[in-house]
Structure formats: structure tokens, C-alpha cells
Structure 1
Amino acid sequence: MKVVIVFNHPYDGSFCNAILKSVTNGLTKSNHEIDLIHLDKDNFNPVMTAGDLKGFRDKSPIDPKVIEYNERIENADHLVFIFPIWWELMPAMTKGFVDKVIFPGVAYDYTNASNTRMKPLWGNIKGVTMITTMNTPNYLYWLIFGNAIKKAMLLGTFWKIGFKNRKWISYNKVKMVSLQKRINWLTKLEDKFASLK
């Protein structure tokens, strides 16, 4: 299985980087092919320019990095996103990835003349997993902030374009929990990805 990981965190010492290591260790144990898209190390430009918007209209991306990412994703079996939640949403690079890479005519297309129904064009992808970190308690994120990242990513993006197998792994109160709890999280995560099918 080919797994593309879209990773976004600028600090090498972050818990997101520890998550990335656990995910890749688990996938390696099962001999899965891993393709890491590291948005920070790629210096990905998340800004949607006028040229990008014209490309969106014409179903033809112009950013060379976007074209490269699409070529890497179109043969993937599973797509994994790893990023922190800052101010209740994703960092700019992850948002820019969604805006610029999940393009009509490339990642999805419309199935009716009024452009209201969509189907995925990344035909090999069997599932999308989103792994996030935050310091907000889980119940507050749901109750006060309306579960914003689930609505934006899993529903507003991947459900909308037609992916049925969508999962979210959320690590909450990351700064407040013990080192042992973090280690337990990482161990379980490694085991989970070692058994990915």
C-alpha cells in the first residue's frame, strides 16, 4: 500500500514530529510505501494567487509544487494529514494545501451541470486519516468551538468530494498530559498504522 503523508509543523521538537515518527515506524513495520509531503521543508506557498484562481476556474493548476503533489497523490492508497490545531483550525500551510491542491479536474470533479455534486478523481485512495494535536480539552472543542476542524476537513472537504472512509485521531491537552501518556499515545498510534489495510 502506498501512503502519502501531508505533514505541517515547523518545529522539529514538536509532538507532531513524534507522531510522524510513530506513523512512519508503524507503516514501515508492515512494508507500506511512504511518501512524505513535508510542507514546511518544501517551503510550500499556501497563498492562492490570481493565477492559481484562474487555474482553479480552468481546472489546471499552475504552481509547480501543486502539480508535483497531485502526481504523488494520484497513485496513493491512503492519505494521512498530520498538523497542530492553532486557534481552532489548521495552520496556513495545511489550509493552503487544501485550497491549492484539492483542485477541480485534478482531485475531484462535478457530476452535474449545476456543479453541486462531486466525485473524487484520486481514484486509488481508500481512506483519509487526519491526526491533530491541540491544547484545548476535547469537550470544549466540541461544545464551544463547534468541532471546527472536523467540519472543515472531514466534512467540508473530503465528505463533500466523495471519500467515504474518513477518520480523525485527535490528541487533546497535549501540553498538560504526562510524558507517560504521550508515550502511550505514540505506541498505540504506531500499532494502529502497523495494522493499516
Structure 2
Amino acid sequence: MHVLVLYCHPVETSFAAALHAEVVKNLLAAGHTVDDCDLYAEGFNPVMSREERLGYHDVPRNQQPLQPYIDRLRRADALVLCFPTWTFGLPAMLKGYFDRMFMPGVAFDLSDPANVKPMLTHIKRIAAVVTYGRPRWMAWYMGDPPRRIVTRYLRRLTGNRARADFHAYYHMNVATPPRLARFMRDVGQAMARFA
């Protein structure tokens, strides 16, 4: 499969960066091709401009500012997201990627507003590798938006055809080296079996 990896963390020495490297290494070892999109390293602009919002429904002109990223998304058979959870949500950079990229003519067809059609039907697999500062019960209490975005919203854009996996490490604030190592190993094994 051709896998688009969306990575979002500003610190190259973080645990998230180590997880990202483990994801890419194991996907490649499993024979997949990988388009490794590091949003911070690439300087992705997460801010939707006034002009973009005004032209949001103007397909295909709405795609011009992001055409290289749209082409990468369209080539993908699978998506793997690697990111931390901040304030119980996606990092602003990743949220901005979704806000700008998932537009009419790319993620969905709005030509009949009463019958919106998903357009990411070429995506067969989705996975996320996510860290949380707080425990699982607190994420659950807050509604766990990252899990819902990956396992519900992204799947919906594939016509509910893609299988979605969510690999989460909760309570980074009290993480221990053995627990981190175990999660890293589990993520590596999951990516080695990714199909």
C-alpha cells in the first residue's frame, strides 16, 4: 500500500518523534511505500485565509492553494496519523490541516447538499498513534475528540469502508521507561502487520 503518514509535533527529541520514526521504519520494512508528511518540518500553514473561506465551495478553484498536498492525499491507499493530544484535542497544526484540506471536491461532494457524498473512498486503512497527558478516564470524560475524529469522522469520509485502528498511550504525565518501551514495541508490531 501507499501510506500517507501525517506527523504533527514540533520537537524532534519528543516521544512522539520516536513513535513517528518507529511507524515509518516498520511500514517500510513491511513493504509499503511511505509519503512521510511532517507538518512542522514542511512548514504547513494551518490557517485558512479569508480568501480560501470565501472560495471554499468553488470547486475546483478551492484546491489551488493546496494542490501539492491534495495530490499526496489522493495518491494514498492508507493514512497513518502520529500526534499528541493537547487540551483534549488535535494539535492546532493538524486541526488546520483538516480544516483546509477536507473541502468540497477533495474529501466530499457537496453538489447535492442534502446528500453529501464521501470522496476519500480510495483510502482503505486508517491508523493513529496518539499520546495523551491525562489518564484514559479523563479523555473519556471529555469525549475523547481525537479518537472520534479518527475512528468516526475520517472513516465517514471513506464511505465507512476503511478499517481504523487507534493506538493510544494515556497519562504521559506519569509515564515510566518500561511502559513507554512496551507501547513503542506494540506500535512497531502494529505497523509491521499493517494491511
TM-score by length of 1: 0.89
Take 2:6 and 2:114, find their aligned partners in 1: how far apart are those partners? 28
The aligned counterpart of 1:84 is 84
Change (3 A) 1:152 1:189: closer
How far residue 114 of structure 1 moved from its aligned partner, in angstroms, is: 3.0
Take 1:94 and 1:115, find their aligned partners in 2: how far apart are those partners? 28
How far residue 116 of structure 1 moved from its aligned partner, in angstroms, is: 4.3
How far residue 194 of structure 1 moved from its aligned partner, in angstroms, is: 1.0
Take 1:30 and 1:114, find their aligned partners in 2: how far apart are those partners? 41
Counterpart pick for 1:61 among 63, 88, 95: 63
Deviations 1:112-161 (A, max 9, x none): 733443222x342101112211111001210x212222334432x31432
**Any unmatched runs of 5+ in structure 1?**
none
Change (3 A) 1:45 1:133: same
How far residue 54 of structure 1 moved from its aligned partner, in angstroms, is: 2.8
Deviates more, 1:51-60 or 1:35-44: 51-60
Take 1:103 and 1:45, find their aligned partners in 2: how far apart are those partners? 16
Q: Secondary structure at the match of 2:56?
A: helix
The aligned counterpart of 1:52 is 52
Take 2:192 and 2:146, find their aligned partners in 1: how far apart are those partners? 26
Q: Secondary structure at the match of 1:182?
A: helix
Change (3 A) 1:106 1:44: same
Q: Secondary structure at the match of 1:146?
A: coil
Deviates more, 1:27-36 or 1:2-11: 27-36
Counterpart pick for 1:183 among 181, 184, 191: 181
Q: Secondary structure at the match of 2:36?
A: strand
The aligned counterpart of 2:156 is 160
In 1, are the aligned partners of 2:24 and 2:36 still within 8 Å (CA)? no
Take 1:195 and 1:57, find their aligned partners in 2: how far apart are those partners? 39
Take 2:45 and 2:92, find their aligned partners in 1: how far apart are those partners? 9
Q: Secondary structure at the match of 1:88?
A: coil
Q: Secondary structure at the match of 1:58?
A: coil
Change (3 A) 1:154 1:51: farther
The aligned counterpart of 2:40 is 40
Percent identity between the aligned chains? Answer: 25
TM-score by length of 2: 0.90
Change (3 A) 1:116 1:159: farther
Query: 1:17-166 maps to which residues of 2 (within 5 A)?
Result: 17-59=17-59, 60-63=62-65, 66-110=66-110, 113-120=112-119, 122-142=120-140, 144-155=141-152, 157-161=153-157, 162-164=159-161, 165-166=163-164
In 1, are the aligned partners of 2:79 and 2:125 still within 8 Å (CA)? yes
C-alpha RMSD of the superposition? 1.7
Take 2:86 and 2:115, find their aligned partners in 1: how far apart are those partners? 31
